[in-house]
Amino acid sequence: MAEQSWVVYLLKCGDNTLYCGVTNDLDRRLRQHNGEIKGGAKYTQARRPCELVYQEGCEDKSSAMKREYNLKQLSRIQKERLFERGA
């Protein structure tokens, strides 16, 4: 199996909202979201701290972005089921 270089992830923000994103460097991206290094989404800048609650590896950027779109279409309850069951 090829190494999965792209990741779709869900964060639980400090205000209890969820944020969905895509990256090829999850550690760097989490540090950006939490303000440790420059970058990160404007959405998460005002809602720190952000905790990683779900991640899913993808084969390439295109499939990661498609999966991100699918996750964003889910209700909050459906998203919570994803990370509560650890799938």
| CATH number where 62 lies | 3.40.1440.10
Count of structural domains, the chain: 1
14 belongs to a structural domain:
yes
Domain residues for 18? 6-85
> Which pLDDT band holds residue 1 (cuts at 50, 70, 90)?
very low
66 belongs to a structural domain:
yes
1 belongs to a structural domain:
no
Which segments of 9-75 does DSSP mark as H helices, in order? Answer: 26-33, 42-45, 61-73
24 belongs to a structural domain:
yes
pLDDT at 14: 97
Q: What is the DSSP letter of 47?
A: S
pLDDT at 86: 64
Judge if pTM exceeds 0.85.
yes
Residue closest to 43 by CA, chosen among 72, 5, 73: 72
Q: Tell me what percent of the residues of the chain surpass a pLDDT of 90.
A: 89
68 belongs to a structural domain:
yes
59 belongs to a structural domain:
yes
d(CA 54, CA 14): 16
